[in-house]
Structure 1
Amino acid sequence: MDTPLSLFDLNALVKRALSECLPDEYWVQAELSDVRSNATGHCYLEFIQKDARGNNLIAKARGTIWSNVYRLLKPYFEEATGQLFTSGIKVLVKVTVDFHELYGYSLTVYDIDPTYTLGDMARRRREILKQLEDEGVLALNKELDMPVLPQRIAVISSPTAAGYGDFCHQLQNNTQGFFFYTELFPAIMQGTQVEKSILQALDRINGRIDEFDVVVIIRGGGATSDLSGFETYLLAAACAQFPLPVITGIGHERDDTVIDSVAHTRVKTPTAAAEYLINRVEEASEHLYGLSEQLKDAVVARLEREKERLNMLRNSIPSLAFLRISEAKMRLLTVNKDLSQSVKSLLIRQKHHLELLSQRINDASPERLLKRGYSITLKDGKTVTNANQLKEGDLISTRLAGGEVFSVINDQIMNK
C-alpha cells in the first residue's frame, strides 16, 4: 500500500498539476451570478453556464476580481455596455485557473470584453421584441390615438430626480400659459428594482385609468449602465399593452431601451417630454383658432348672403303683394259667384221641399177629411174617440163639413 497523502498534500498536488496543465490565461464565456464586493474592493462572484434547452445549470465556478483590477474593469465595462456589472448578464472574461489548498478551484479575472456582452444584450433585445411581435402586442401602444389635449399626465419617476423637477417646471411655466395636471407615481429608476417598481406604478395608474390622458416615464441623467432595468420583457410587455399612450424620456440620446421601442412616443429627455406635450396642446390651440377664424368668416359670408337675400325679398314685396291681392280678388269673385249659385240652388230645393210638406199638411187637415164625409164628435170641446167616454145625459156636438149637430146621450142608445 502506497504512503497515504494528507488532504493538504493532495490539494497541493492538484494545484501544481493545474498550474502545469493550464498555465496560460483563457477567454471564457459565462453568465455572472452572485456578484458582490467587500470593503477592501475585491469582487467575488460565480460563473455559471446553463443548458440552452432546459435552463438547468451544467457548470459553475467561483471567480475573483482583485481590487486593483475591479476598480478599472467595472466602470470600463458599464460605460461601454450601458449595463450594470451584475448577476444575470453574459460576459467574456480573461481568466487564469487557480487552485487553493483551502478554498479550492476558482477563476481569477484579469480582463473583460464588453463587445460580447453588447452582442448578447442586442440579441436579448431582439428576442424580446420578436416575442412581443409574435404575441401581436409590439405596436399596440403606438397604434393608440394621442389625445388632442394631453393635459392630465401620470408621471412615473423618482420624486427626487432632477429630471422630474425639470419636467414639471417646463410644463408649469410654458409661455402659452396652458394648464397641465400632473400626478407623480413614484418608482425606482435605477438598479435591480426598476422593473418591479415601474410595473407597480403602471398598475396603480391602470386602477385610475379614466383620470389620465397619457403616461410619462422619465428619468434624469445618470450612468448609461443604469439603463439595464428598462431592458426586460415584462416591463416592455406592460408598456406595449398599456391602454394609455406611453411617452418615454429617460435621459439618453444615443441609446434606445426596449421600452423606448414599444412606447407610443420616445423623446430624449424629461424636458423634451414636456416640450412634446406643450407642442401637442399648442397644435390643438392653433387648430381651434383656425376653426374659429373659419367659423367667423363663414358667419360673415352667411350674413352677407342673407342680407342680399333680404334685400331681394324686400324689393320683390310690392310686386308679390299686388300679385297676391289680384289672385285673392279673383278667388273672391269666383267664390262669390259660386256662393250665389249655390244659395240659389239651395233655395230652389228648399222651396220644392216646403211645397211637398204643405201639400201633405193640406191633405191631412181636418177640413179635408170632413169634406170626404167624416165627422168629429166633441164633448166639452174635446174629441171623443171611444163610447166609453160618454154617459147618459151628456151633451155632445158632431161637426160636419156643412155644419154642427148637437145631441144628448140616453141610456137606450148607449146600450145599443
Structure 2
Amino acid sequence: MKALSLYELNNLVRETIAVSLTDEYWVEAELSELREVRGHCYMELIQKDLFSNTPVAKAQAKCWKSKWIGVRDKFERIAGQSLHAGLKVMLKVYPDFHEAYGFSWIVTDVNPEFTMGDMARKRLEIINKLKTDGVFDLQKNLELLMFAQRIAVVSSPNAAGYGDFCSQLENNDYGLKFYPRLFPAIMQGEGIEKSVISALDDIYKSLDDFDVVVIIRGGGATSDMSGFDTLALAENVANFPLPIITGIGHERDESVLDMVSNTRVKTPTAAAALLIEHLSDVYNRVMDAQEEIISNIARRMEVENLRLKRLAEKIPMLFSIFKNQQISMLDKLFVEIVNTITLKISMCNYDISILSNSLAPVAQRRLTKESYKLQLIQQKLEALDPVLLLKRGYSITTFKGQVVKNASALKSGDEVEIRLEKGTVKSIIK
C-alpha cells in the first residue's frame, strides 16, 4: 500500500475544504488572544462550557491588514471600546487551510451590536449580583465628613486629569486647604481591575489617614471604559468603608463602578469642585454659627449686667445682715468645739492610764512564753546539725553538688563525693 506524503494529504484537505465550505459564516466565540503583527491581526477563538467554564472548542483566526483596519475602526466606533481578549464577538469568517501553516478562519467582518448586547448582559448580571448580595447601595449610606480634606486619589500619575484635579483643589477661590495623596493605578486597558483594587487595598492599610477616596480618569477613549464594569472591582468599591467619588467618564458613560460609588461626577475637575463646594458650605455654616454665638453672648451679657446691677444695689444691706448671722453662728460653734475637745481629751487620758497599768504584766508574760519557744527551737536545730551526724559515724554522699538520696539516681562511671567527720573521699561508681 502506497502512503501519501504529508504535503499531499494536506493538499487533499485544502481542496476538500475549498470545495465543501465555499460560503462565509457568522460565528459566535470568545477572544482568548489577540495580537497585531505588521498590520495583520492574529486571534485565538474559544468556546467555553456553559457550566464549568472549560473550553470545549478552540480555533485560530486571522484578519489581514487590508480588512483589519476597517473591521477594527467599525467595532470601536459602534461598541465604544477596542477588541481585546475576554470579549465575546460575532465574526464573519471563511475557512482557509495551508499545506505548511495549517487551518485557520479568515475574518472579513465583525458585528459590534452582538458584543454590545453581551456587555449589557454582563453589566446587568453584575448589578443583579450586587443587589442580591445587598451591597449595591452600601456606599450611598455613607456620609461625606464635614471637614473632608484628606483625600486618597486613585489615578494614573501622568494623567492630565489628575493634574487638573490637584490644581483646582489648591487654587480654589475660598483659600481652603486640601491634602490629596496619590495612589497610582492603571486607568485604561485590561489592567484596570487589578490595579485599582490594589490601590484600594493600600488605602485601606492607612484608613485613618483619609476622609474620602476619589477615583478619577482624565480624558482617554470611551473604548477603555469596560475595565470599570467588573464584579470584583464593584464589590471592592461597594464594601469600602470610606465614601468614594468617581470621575472616570463622560456624561453618557456610566459604568458599574459609578453606580455603586457614593457620588458620581463627570470629570476630575467636577470631583474637585464637589469637594470644594462641600467644604465651603461647611465653612459658611461654621461662620454663621460663629456670628450667632457672638450675638447670643452679647444679648446674654446685657441681661446679666442688668441683674448684676440690681444685685449690687442690694448687696450692702444683705451683706450686713448675713455678716451678723455668721459671726453669731461662729461664736456658738467655737464654744461647742472647745467643750467637745476638752471632754474627748479627758476620756482619752483615762483610757491611756488604764491601758498603761494593764500592759506591763501582759507584755512580761508574752516575753517569757516566746523566750521558752525559742529555746525549744534552738534545741531542735542543734539536734539536726549534720556535723553531729558525721561525729556519730554517718557520712553524706553528693553528686555534682547535690545530696544523693536514691542509689538508682547514679550510674556506672559517675563520680561521687563522700563527706566524713574529718575530710572527704571521692569515689567512682562501678
Task: Bin the TM-score by the shorter chain.
Answer: 0.7 to 0.9
**Alpha-carbon distance between aligned partners in 1 of 2:73 and 2:245, rounded to the nearest angstrom:** 30
Provide the C-alpha distance between the structure 1 equivalents of 2:124 and 2:23, rounded to a whole number of angstroms. Answer: 36
Match of 2:21 in 1: 22
Q: Distance in 2 between matches of 1:191 and 1:204?
A: 21
Q: 1:328 to 1:195 in 2, by over 3 A?
A: closer
Aligned with 2:89: secondary structure?
Answer: strand
* Aligned positions of 1:12-411 closer than 5 A: 12-39=11-38, 41-310=39-308, 317=314
Q: Deviation at 1:312?
A: 5.7
In 2: Cα distance, 1:313 partner to 1:24 partner:
111
Q: How many residues align?
A: 328
Contact 1:156/1:215 (8 A) holds in 2:
yes
Structure 1 stretch 161-170 or stretch 190-199: which is displaced more? 190-199
Tell me by how many angstroms 1:143 deviates.
1.4
* C-alpha distance in structure 1 between counterparts of 2:164 and 2:143, whole Å: 26
| Contact kept? 1:84, 1:228, Cα under 8 Å | no
* Distance in 1, Cα, partners of 2:78 & 2:130: 27
Comparing 169-178 and 105-114, the one that deviates more: 105-114
Shift of 1:328: 11
C-alpha separation in 1, matches of 2:83 and 2:298: 70
Alpha-carbon distance in 2 for matches of 1:147, 1:212: 10
Structure 2 residue aligned with 1:393: none
Measure, in 2, the Cα distance between the counterparts of 1:34 and 1:279.
Answer: 46
Aligned partners of 1:133 and 1:24: how far apart in 2? 46
Contact 1:74 1:85 in 2 (8 A): yes
TM-score (norm 2): 0.70
1:10 — aligned with what?
Answer: 9
Aligned to 1:361: none
Tell me the CA shift for residue 232 of structure 1. Answer: 1.6
User: One-letter code of the match for 1:171?
Assistant: L
In structure 1, distance between residues paired with 2:58 and 2:312? 102
One-letter code aligned to 2:253: D
**Cα distance in 1, alignment partners of residues 93 and 275 from structure 2:** 51
Structure 2 distance, partners of 1:311, 1:73, is 93
Q: Could you tell me which amino acid in structure 2 is paired with residue 15 of structure 1?
A: R
CA contact (8 A) 1:249 1:273 kept: yes
Gaps of 5+ in 1: 336-416
Q: Do 1:91 and 1:114's aligned partners in 2 also have CA atoms closer than 8 Å?
A: yes
Checking the alignment, whether the CA contact within 8 Å between 1:82 and 1:228 is kept in structure 2 is no
Q: Using the alignment, how far apart are the partners of 2:74 and 2:276 within structure 1?
A: 39
Q: Check the 8 A contact 1:92/1:113 in 2, yes or no.
A: yes
Matched residue, 1:388: none
Q: What is the CA–CA distance in structure 1 between the aligned matches of 2:307 and 2:298, rounded to whole Å?
A: 14
For residues 255 and 192 of structure 1, the distance between their equivalents in structure 2, rounded to whole angstroms, comes to 18
For the 8 Å contact 2:251–2:266, the answer to whether it is kept is yes
Instruction: Give per-residue Cα distances to partners, 1:313-338, cap 9 Å, x unaligned.
Output: 567x49x959x97x999x9xxx9xxx
Alpha-carbon distance change, 63 to 328 in structure 1, aligned in 2, over 3 angstroms: closer
Q: Judge conservation of contact 2:89–2:115 (CA < 8 Å) in 1.
A: yes
Question: Is the 2:222–2:249 contact (alpha carbons within 8 Å) kept by the matching residues of 1?
Answer: no
CA drift of 1:98 comes to 2.2
Quote the Cα distance in structure 2 between the aligned partners of 1:216 and 1:312. Answer: 61
**C-alpha RMSD of matched pairs (Å):** 2.7
Q: CA deviation at 1:35?
A: 0.7
Q: Does the 8 Å CA contact 1:83/1:226 hold for their aligned counterparts?
A: yes
8 Å CA contact 1:78–1:224 kept in 2: the answer is no
Instruction: Report the TM-score, using the length of structure 1 for normalisation.
Output: 0.72
Aligned AA (2:12): L
Q: CA deviation at 1:273?
A: 0.7
Query: For the residues of structure 1 that align with 2:76 and 2:146, how far apart are their CA atoms?
Result: 41
1:356 aligns to what? Answer: none
- Bigger mean CA deviation after superposition, 68-77 or 118-127: 68-77
